[in-house]
Amino acid sequence: MKYPLNVVIDYVYSLLDENREILEERVEYADPGVQLAPFITALLPESARKVISEASIDKIDDCITVAESRLPAADFSTSGGVTTLGRANVGLPDDFLRLVYFRMSDWEEGLSVPMECGSEVHQLRNRKLGTLGYAYQRPAVTIRRRGRNCDLLVYGSQPDASVADLQYVARPAIVKEEIDLPPALFHDVCANVADTVLSVLATPH
Amino acid at 176: K
The closest alpha carbon to 119, from 91, 90, 95, 140, belongs to: 140
Give the 3-state secondary structure of 27-45.
HHHHCCCCCHHHHHHHHHH
When comparing pLDDT for 198 and 11, which is higher?
Answer: 11
- Max mean pLDDT among 23-27, 107-111, 186-190 falls in 186-190
Amino acid at 132: L
The closest alpha carbon to 40, from 78, 66, 9, belongs to: 9
The closest alpha carbon to 8, from 32, 34, 36, belongs to: 36
199, pLDDT greater than 50: yes
When comparing pLDDT for 81 and 104, which is higher?
Answer: 104
pLDDT tens profile 46-59: 999 999 988 888 88
The domain locations on the chain are 2-60+181-202, 64-169
Q: What is the pLDDT of residue 68?
A: 92
